[in-house]
Structure 1
Amino acid sequence: MKKTFRYLLKGILAFVAFLLVTFIVLKLVYNDDIPKGIPGTPADEMAFKLLDAIHHKEFTEAKEIHWTFRGDHRYEWKLQQNMVAVYWEDYRVLYQTQYPEISFAFKNGKRLEGEEQQAAIDDAAFHFNNDSFWVVAPHKIFDIGTTRELVEENGKQKLLVTYHSGGTTPGDSYLWEVDENYQPIAFKMWVRIIPLDGIEVTWSNWEMTAGGFPLSRKRSLFGIEVPVTDLKVIP
């Protein structure tokens, strides 16, 4: 029994050591400082070109966007009503994005009240803020509380967007790279919930939706696809 415990302990220690070494290596690789750029008109002009490339006007006119994230968070977002139905496990929350205080929640079909309702609404807000970003992030570069800077990097012009307020994790920054038509192809991110700086996520397989604007159908991090499925636009 003691020998088995020693082997088990050695295995656990070896695994912890492996994770520690892996983290240190990744931290050394992904330890970029946030670049400095030119704010104001030059940055905003590039931002407008990016929005034109992804048909932002048509996006703002869409009625609904539906999708599933990681196979367990499902969304039905009614853009014109600023309302999104969020489904996970036994919960359904009708979350009002502009006025969260008028949101309401259900569990197993029963309406929640008091602290249980508030907890469910808070969870829905957190899920929606994170999961919707992976669907429509390029459309959020002029959100309230954002600043933009034009960055020259490796002979290319890129757009640095920082979210100073709003959402769940204010202070996050994203450096967008675009193609020759100003369509986004990747961003590097500096976010509080990830201890690695400058991780790149690619955005590809842009396809036109029924709403008259394209959406990326594939976003990859470390070569692993970010799991957005059942993506549909109702014009």
Structure 2
Amino acid sequence: ALNYEAYQNTNYLEWTFRNTNHYKWDKNKGKCEVIWKDFKVILDFNASDNNRAFVHNFEVQDEQANELIDKAVRYFNNDSFWLIAPYKVFDKGTSRQLIRLEDGKTGLLVTYSQGGSTPGDSYLWQFDATGKPSSFRMWTSIIPIQGLKASWEGWITSESGATLPTKHKIAFLTLNMGEVKGTK
């Protein structure tokens, strides 16, 4: 329902998580520009020695750079998950299990034993009639309410053909993804 092949062939993704953290991710080159407040970090996922950090467009070094880079990695791991999680269910270190839900439908329980910033987290996906994810329930180390439900909605088909969400709702909170772009 989401066109995994189109996602695989998407070279560039851009989005803004909660109107705060801005991302320009070149998947082919393994680089991502992360911008928040007065900070910009250029992450190189293939060679972390090439990571660079800036404050007010001036490059910083040493401890300040390391702190900003660590924060940018945490932001990226979290915020990209809200964009591409459905495409990560077969990543290395995941386990999957079909679960009978209370309404009689089938859900997919995905547990991430490695990768990201919080290994061990689990998500129980629910799907609409077309097979597209409609929500998941979260059991994570950073959210104190276990089994919290988050919607996956506002789906768009990007220029690359990948299907991506533009927002999520968790109780009374809406997580906007900004203007989501995906190109080849």
What TM-score bracket applies, with the shorter chain setting the length? Answer: over 0.9
For 1:195, the equivalent position in structure 2 comes to 144
Partners of 2:57 and 2:153 in 1: CA distance: 38
For 2:179, the equivalent position in structure 1 comes to 230
Q: Does the 8 Å contact 1:60/1:79 carry over to 2? A: no
- What one-letter code is carried by the residue in structure 1 that aligns with 2:106? Q
Match of 2:7, SS? helix
Match of 2:109, SS? strand
Partners of 1:62 and 1:171 in 2: CA distance: 28
Which structure dedicates a bigger proportion of its chain to helix? 1
- What one-letter code is carried by the residue in structure 2 that aligns with 1:141? V
Q: Give the deviation of 1:81 after TM superposition.
A: 1.1
Q: Give the deviation of 1:123 after TM superposition.
A: 0.7
Matched, 1:86 2:37: no
Q: Give the deviation of 1:85 after TM superposition.
A: 0.3
Match of 2:97, SS? strand
For 1:125, the equivalent position in structure 2 comes to 73
For 2:115, the equivalent position in structure 1 comes to 166
For 1:101, the equivalent position in structure 2 comes to 49
- What one-letter code is carried by the residue in structure 1 that aligns with 2:32? V
Partners of 1:164 and 1:183 in 2: CA distance: 24
Q: Give the deviation of 1:67 after TM superposition.
A: 0.9
Partners of 1:108 and 1:218 in 2: CA distance: 29
Q: Does the 8 Å contact 2:10/2:162 carry over to 1? A: no
For 1:143, the equivalent position in structure 2 comes to 91
Q: Give the deviation of 1:93 after TM superposition.
A: 0.8
Listed as ranges, the gaps of 5+ residues in structure 2 are: none
Partners of 1:187 and 1:232 in 2: CA distance: 23
Q: Does the 8 Å contact 1:61/1:80 carry over to 2? A: no
For 1:61, the equivalent position in structure 2 comes to 9
Partners of 1:87 and 1:74 in 2: CA distance: 5
Partners of 1:192 and 1:109 in 2: CA distance: 34
Listed as ranges, the gaps of 5+ residues in structure 1 are: 1-52
- What one-letter code is carried by the residue in structure 1 that aligns with 2:87? H
**Runs of 4+ deviating beyond 4 Å:** none
Match of 1:204, SS? coil
Deviations 1:83-129 (A, max 9, x none): 10001122111112343333111222222211111111101101111
CA RMSD of aligned residues (A): 1.3
The one of 58, 62, 65 aligned to 1:110: 58
- What one-letter code is carried by the residue in structure 1 that aligns with 2:140? V
What TM-score does the superposition give when structure 1 sets the normalisation length?
A: 0.74
Matched, 1:181 2:130: yes
Q: How many residues are treated as equivalent by the alignment?
A: 183
What TM-score does the superposition give when structure 2 sets the normalisation length?
A: 0.93
